[in-house]
């Protein structure tokens, strides 16, 4: 396919003619009186309800949460015009009426499964169910305000990194751009920002994609695909199908991973806007219509006129950062392809990477002493993400474990068993990972820090409805001490849990911070001991 012009107004993509709410396609459409149930009252749910109220819809909010934060959000929504706010597990299980009549629309927060009783009841009654992303697309155009172009990003891993890289590159190009969606600012809050934006870098989870129908991005990517969230989607096939929705109605370029055929097949099956191109990225030498690596340079053979026999230099590998594992290179190339499709100059790709802050908990070097590197990748919440981390280091003392979310560890352990020196297991139930290690790495020592105190700690949270006290930080300190007992010059101690954190930590961020704190305490203690010993001599 030929490359379309990289400027001018694009076709915004069709809205299904069979959609009973197809007339609601801009902020200025007539939303007044529309009866809507909003499911959820967290950060996203609140932004959904607040937006709909501002549009003039008749809104009832339903949420299982009853804590102080939910109560405060409910009070605010009542003040700004919600018809009713219903909190509690029991009331959240059924679809309420809106002023005595059946709802015309349900807009759900991303976390609720399609099988949730309220959403199932809506589907069975023929009531459309949207997510926050679908609502945001419908209201993005507003008279007198700038309408942002959308660049959409999904994948099992690397979404946040790639999205924020896109944001940095767009900003380096002088554009008013922001990362939204499954990251940072709720997209509906960004849309309502008075000054408006030139472009949105939109991170999309599989949950959000499940409830989208009419989004039409300028460029889009599914970075990779591996087993994850099977418990939410019901099957890997359903998960993959929702991920593939990122490509629907793409205007200029569908970006895919040349090293993972599943993403190419998604592009082949996608219904896109006429003239949209398929462009690949690879961490190897790029062919025509690809971005890739040549002699330590990120290069473009897709968005240049001379792509048949030359490539445009975009950046150096060193521009990405201090530690540049292969998957980080892939993320940078995907981001570059997305913004090049949008028309961003090569210099802005380079400057965006130089300005980019990778943030905490993603292949984050914590310390290096006596030839040992300590690395925090708490963001590696599934086996695919952990595999990318493990591939970057050798030998590895691997701290892993947590809520497995129904995934298998066999392929992960089989692939990386040769680089494992010791494995230290965390988590209330590490049986799946332990079994995979026994099958595929039987000679690798496995250490499980004593968790004798954790039950007591958890029980304290049940007294007088106190805030939960998570046992993870205590176990993390023990895990770090256990790692210190087996390290040698040349080792990497890697926290890459390959699991969610919710069994023992409040979030992956708390898990990463616990690792950093434990490493800092360990090394400071060693330094103090050495100093004291020297003074004693």
Per-residue pLDDT band for 473 (boundaries 50, 70, 90) equals confident
In this structure, the answer to whether residues 41 and 108 fall within a common structural domain is yes
- Among candidate residues 398, 403, 452, 453, the one with its CA nearest the CA of residue 424: 398
- The rounded distance, in Å, linking the Cα atoms of 277 and 36 is 38
> Tell me, what's the pLDDT at 1?
34
Q: Please indicate, yes or no, if residue 149 is contained in any of the structural domains.
A: yes
> Tell me, what's the pLDDT at 235?
84
> Tell me, what's the pLDDT at 137?
98
> Tell me, what's the pLDDT at 248?
97
- Where is pLDDT greater, at 416 or 185? 416
Domain that holds residue 104: 35-127
- The rounded distance, in Å, linking the Cα atoms of 483 and 494 is 10
- 246 secondary structure, DSSP code: G
| DSSP reduced 3-state for 284 | coil
Q: Please indicate, yes or no, if residue 435 is contained in any of the structural domains.
A: yes
- 45 secondary structure, DSSP code: H
In this structure, the answer to whether residues 148 and 95 fall within a common structural domain is no
Is 160 marked as a binding-site residue?
yes
| Residue 5 in this model has a pLDDT that exceeds 70 | no
In this structure, the answer to whether residues 244 and 375 fall within a common structural domain is no
Which of 97, 127, 157 marks a domain boundary?
127
| DSSP reduced 3-state for 125 | coil
In this structure, the answer to whether residues 343 and 378 fall within a common structural domain is no
Tokens 């079994």 belong to 435
- Among candidate residues 289, 295, 284, 281, the one with its CA nearest the CA of residue 333: 281
In this structure, the answer to whether residues 481 and 388 fall within a common structural domain is yes
In this structure, the answer to whether residues 260 and 140 fall within a common structural domain is yes
Which of 67, 97, 127 marks a domain boundary?
127
Number of independent structural domains in the chain = 3
| Residue 359 in this model has a pLDDT that exceeds 80 | no
Is 155 marked as a binding-site residue?
yes
pLDDT above 70 covers a percentage of the chain that reads 88
In this structure, the answer to whether residues 161 and 120 fall within a common structural domain is no
Is 159 marked as a binding-site residue?
yes
Is 443 marked as a binding-site residue?
no
Is 422 marked as a binding-site residue?
no
Highest mean pLDDT among 194-203, 227-236, 400-409: 194-203
In this structure, the answer to whether residues 143 and 102 fall within a common structural domain is no
CATH number at residue 431: 3.90.190.20
| Residue 455 in this model has a pLDDT that exceeds 50 | no
CB atoms within 10 A of CB 245: 23
- Among candidate residues 319, 331, 477, 326, the one with its CA nearest the CA of residue 393: 326
- The rounded distance, in Å, linking the Cα atoms of 350 and 327 is 18
Is 156 marked as a binding-site residue?
yes
Highest mean pLDDT among 5-9, 58-62, 303-307, 457-461: 58-62
CATH number at residue 69: 3.40.50.720
Is 157 marked as a binding-site residue?
yes
Which of 103, 127, 151 marks a domain boundary?
127
In this structure, the answer to whether residues 287 and 329 fall within a common structural domain is yes
- Model pLDDT for residues 493-527, shown as the tens digit of each residue: 999 999 887 778 888 889 999 999 999 999 987 76
In this structure, the answer to whether residues 393 and 265 fall within a common structural domain is no
């Amino acid at each position: 396919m030929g490359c379309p012009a990289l400027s001018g107004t694009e076709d915004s993509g069709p809205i299904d003619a069979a959609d009973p709410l197809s007339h609601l396609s801009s902020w200025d459409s007539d939303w007044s009186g529309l009866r809507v149930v909003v499911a959820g009252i967290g950060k996203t749910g609140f932004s959904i309800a607040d937006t709909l109220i501002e549009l003039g819809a008749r809104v009832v909010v339903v949420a299982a949460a009853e804590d102080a934060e939910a109560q405060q959000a409910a009070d605010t929504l009542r003040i700004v015009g919600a018809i009713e706010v219903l909190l509690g597990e029991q009331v959240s299980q059924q679809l309420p009426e809106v002023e005595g009549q059946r709802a015309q629309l349900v807009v759900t927060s991303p976390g609720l499964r399609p099988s949730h009783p309220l959403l199932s009841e809506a589907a069975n009654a023929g009531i459309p169910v949207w997510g926050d992303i679908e609502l945001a697309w419908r209201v993005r155009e507003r008279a007198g305000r700038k309408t942002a172009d959308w660049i959409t990003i999904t994948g099992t891993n690397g979404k946040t990194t790639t999205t924020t890289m896109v944001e940095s590159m767009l900003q380096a190009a002088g554009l008013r751009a922001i990362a939204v969606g499954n990251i940072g600012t709720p997209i509906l809050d960004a849309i309502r920002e008075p000054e408006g934006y030139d472009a949105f870098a939109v991170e999309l989870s599989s949950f959000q994609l499940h409830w989208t129908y009419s989004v039409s991005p300028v460029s889009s990517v599914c970075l990779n695909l591996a087993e994850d969230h099977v418990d939410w989607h019901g099957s890997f096939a359903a998960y993959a199908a929702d991920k593939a929705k990122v490509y629907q109605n793409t205007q200029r370029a569908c970006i895919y991973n040349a090293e993972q055929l599943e993403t190419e097949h998604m592009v082949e099956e996608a219904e896109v806007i006429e003239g949209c191109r398929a462009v690949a990225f690879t961490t190897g030498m790029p062919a025509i219509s690809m971005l890739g690596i040549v002699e330590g340079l990120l290069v473009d053979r897709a968005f240049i006129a001379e792509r048949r026999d030359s490539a445009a230099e975009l950046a150096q590998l060193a521009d990405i950062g201090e530690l540049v594992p292969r998957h980080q290179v892939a993320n940078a190339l995907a981001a570059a392809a997305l913004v090049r499709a949008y028309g961003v100059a090569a210099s802005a790709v380079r400057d965006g990477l130089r300005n980019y802050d990778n943030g905490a908990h993603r292949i984050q070097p914590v310390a290096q002493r006596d030839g040992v590197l300590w690395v925090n990748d708490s963001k590696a919440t599934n086996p695919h993400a952990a595999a990318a981390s493990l591939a970057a280091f050798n030998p590895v003392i691997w701290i892993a474990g947590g809520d497995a979310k129904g995934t298998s560890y066999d392929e992960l352990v089989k692939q990386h068993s040769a680089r494992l020196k010791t494995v230290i297991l965390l988590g209330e139930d590490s049986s799946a990972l332990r079994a995979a290690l026994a099958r595929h790495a039987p000679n690798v020592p496995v250490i499980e820090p004593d968790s004798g105190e954790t039950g007591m700690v958890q029980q304290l949270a049940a007294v007088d409805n106190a805030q939960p006290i998570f046992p993870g930080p205590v176990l993390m300190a023990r895990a770090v001490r256990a790692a210190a007992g087996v390290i040698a010059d040349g080792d990497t101690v890697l926290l890459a849990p390959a699991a969610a954190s919710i069994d023992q930590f409040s979030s992956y961020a708390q898990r990463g911070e616990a690792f950093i704190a434990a490493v800092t305490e360990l090394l400071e203690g060693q330094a103090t001991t050495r100093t004291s010993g020297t003074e004693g001599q």
